[in-house]
């Protein structure tokens, strides 16, 4: 039943996690609510700087990506005190920290803004990480 490759779906971001969750529940022969209970509790907080020129967003991300030691560069730019495990540049800069928090910055695809998303084990921590990242981005940009 699910052994087919999906072509591009004409949807926005929210549909794909829903489809993936339903497929995962089916594969594990469980309900969606039981599947959710097994997941670690994570909180996400997001905000953005607007207007923020796309060129400036891209130059900040490129400065990190092209640095000889991009982990040190990201820690310096965003004033991160926690060790960086890795950075994924697939869609902006997604920074994985040693305490299992994540901060992700990326330019908007449809407006002149720079978006920041943080994931942590509490909403307060995610909000603080997003705000401190935005504060550093403002400092870098102006």
How confident is the chain (142 residues) per 10-residue block, as mean pLDDT? 64 76 91 89 94 91 93 91 95 96 93 95 96 92 74
CATH number of 42-141: 3.30.310.50
pLDDT at 15: 78
pLDDT for the residue 1: 53
Domain locations in the chain?
A: 12-40, 42-141
Q: Angle at the Cα of 12 (from 90 to 21), degrees rounded to 5?
A: 80
37 Cβ partners below 8 Å, 6+ apart?
none
Strands (E), the chain: 43-49, 84-88, 93-97, 102-107, 114-120
Task: Give pLDDT, residue 133.
Answer: 95
Rounded to whole angstroms, the Cα distance separating 82 from 47 reads: 21
Q: Could you give the CA distance from residue 62 to residue 29 in angstroms, rounded to a whole number?
A: 44
Query: What does the pLDDT read at residue 119?
Result: 98
pLDDT at 136: 92
Residue-level pLDDT at 140: 83
Identify whether the C-beta of residue 24 lies closer than 8 Å to the C-beta of residue 36: no
């Amino acid at each position: 039943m699910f052994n087919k490759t999906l072509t591009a779906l004409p949807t926005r971001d929210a549909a794909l996690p829903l489809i993936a969750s339903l497929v995962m529940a089916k594969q594990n022969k469980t309900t969606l609510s039981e599947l959710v209970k097994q997941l670690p509790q994570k909180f996400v907080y997001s905000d953005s700087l607007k207007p923020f020129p796309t060129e400036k967003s891209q130059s900040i991300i490129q400065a990190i990506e092209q640095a000889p030691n991009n982990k040190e560069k990201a820690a310096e730019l965003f004033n991160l005190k926690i060790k960086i495990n890795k950075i994924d540049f697939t869609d902006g800069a997604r920074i994985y920290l040693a305490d299992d928090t994540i901060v992700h910055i990326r330019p908007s695809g449809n407006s002149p803004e720079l978006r920041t998303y943080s994931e942590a084990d509490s909403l307060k921590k995610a909000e603080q990480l997003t705000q401190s990242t935005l504060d550093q981005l403002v400092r870098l940009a102006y």
